[in-house]
Amino acid sequence: MRLKLLAPIFIISTFLISSCTKDESVRLMPVTTDSELALELYETGMLAFDQIKLGLAYRNLEMAVKEDPDFFMAYFWMYFMSGECSKKIAEKALQSEAFLNDGEKQIKTAFKYLLDGQDEKVVEHLIIATELYPSDPHVYKILYVLQFQFLKDIEGSIVTINRAIEAQPDFALAYNQLGYALMVIEEYGKAEEAFNNYIKLAPAIANPYDSKGDFYMTTEQYDKAFESYMKAFEIDSGFTVSEKKARKAKYLQEKSIE
C-alpha cells in the first residue's frame, strides 16, 4: 500500500514497516530528546506509522513533543503526516534548539532546503546523513522516499533503496518501496521478487499482502489480486482499503471472462 503523507508543498508516498536488528555492529542514528517518555512515545509512534496506522502514529508523536517541545525528529515526521497545521509544525521543527547529532543536523538542513524548494541541496545533505550512518536503513528511507515521489527520480531511489538493503538485508520496508519503484520502470519480474521478500520478512502484518495485491492488479492478475487483498483485510480489519480493492479486483476478474 502507498502511504500518503500530506504537506502543503507536496505529497509523498512511502511503504513502511519497522525492522529491528540485534546485530550490535549496526550503528543506528540516535534520536535526540531529553525525555525517556518522549523517546518511548516516538518509537511507538513510528512503529504505528510504519504499519500505516497514521492516527495512532500522529497521536504518539503529538504526545512526544508535549513531553519534549524541542524534539526535532518528532516534528519532522509530524510534518509529513499533517495537513492544515503542517506549516506551524514546520516552524516548530526549525525552531527546535535541541543539540542534535550530526546526522540529525544534516536532516534538519535538508528539511530547510525542502521547504525552500532547493531539491539538489535536499539530496546533498541527506546523502551526507547516510554517509554518517551507512548501516542505518532508516536514514536511507528519508532520502529514497523523497527521490521516489517528490523528486520523481526513480532510478536514484532504486540506487538508494539497494544501499539500504545492502546495509540491512532484513529491512522489510525497503523491499516494499523497491517493488513499487521497479513497477514504475516496468521491471515486473524484479518487482514481484521484491514484494515476495517483503512478505517473507513481515508475514504477520497486512501491508505486504496489500502491496502484492497492487502488483497483481498492475499485471492484470485479478484473481490473485483479490486473494492478496483479502489476505491483508483478514490480517487487519483496519485495512478497509484492501477490502475495497478486493471488490474491484473481483469485478475486473469477472469482466475479463465475460
Q: What is the pLDDT of residues 223-247, one digit of tens each?
A: 999 999 999 999 999 899 999 999 9
What is the pLDDT, as a whole number, of residue 81?
85
Residues 213 and 245 in one domain: yes
What is the pLDDT, as a whole number, of residue 7?
39
Residues 193 and 239 in one domain: no
Q: What pLDDT, in 10s, does the model give residues 87-103?
A: 999 999 999 999 999 99
What is the pLDDT, as a whole number, of residue 145?
86
Establish if 226 belongs to a structural domain.
yes
SS3 content of the chain, % helix, strand, coil (to 5): 70, 5, 30
Could you list the residue range(s) of the whole structural domain that residue 228 is in? 208-258
Residues 111 and 193 in one domain: yes
Establish if 184 belongs to a structural domain.
yes
Establish if 156 belongs to a structural domain.
yes
What is the pLDDT, as a whole number, of residue 84?
65
What is the pLDDT, as a whole number, of residue 15?
38
- DSSP E strand boundaries for the chain: 3-7, 10-14
Find the helix or strand (DSSP H, E) in which 246 lies: helix 240-256
What is the pLDDT, as a whole number, of residue 158?
98
Here the CATH number for the domain that contains residue 120 is: 1.25.40.10
Residues 180 and 152 in one domain: yes
Establish if 221 belongs to a structural domain.
yes
Establish if 138 belongs to a structural domain.
yes
Residues 119 and 141 in one domain: yes
What is the pLDDT, as a whole number, of residue 106?
97
Give the global pTM: 0.85
Establish if 25 belongs to a structural domain.
no
Structurally, how many domains does the chain consist of? Answer: 2
What's the CA gap between 109 and 179, in Å, rounded?
Answer: 29
Q: What is the DSSP code string of 162-212?
A: HHHHHH-TT-HHHHHHHHHHHHHTT-HHHHHHHHHHHHHH-TTSSHHHHHH
What is the pLDDT, as a whole number, of residue 5?
57
Residues 215 and 196 in one domain: no
Cα angle at 57 between 54 and 58, to 5 degrees?
85
What is the pLDDT, as a whole number, of residue 150?
78
Residues 121 and 171 in one domain: yes
Residues 180 and 132 in one domain: yes
Residue identified by cell 492544515 is: 84
Residues 174 and 220 in one domain: no
What is the pLDDT, as a whole number, of residue 80?
83
Establish if 187 belongs to a structural domain.
yes
Residues 200 and 244 in one domain: no
What is the pLDDT, as a whole number, of residue 58?
95
Residues 199 and 243 in one domain: no
Q: What contacts 187, CB < 8 A, 6 or more positions away?
A: none
Establish if 115 belongs to a structural domain.
yes
What is the pLDDT, as a whole number, of residue 4?
55
Point out the residues of the chain with pLDDT beneath 50: 6-24
Residues 201 and 148 in one domain: yes
What's the CA gap between 1 and 13, in Å, rounded?
Answer: 9
What is the pLDDT, as a whole number, of residue 26?
58
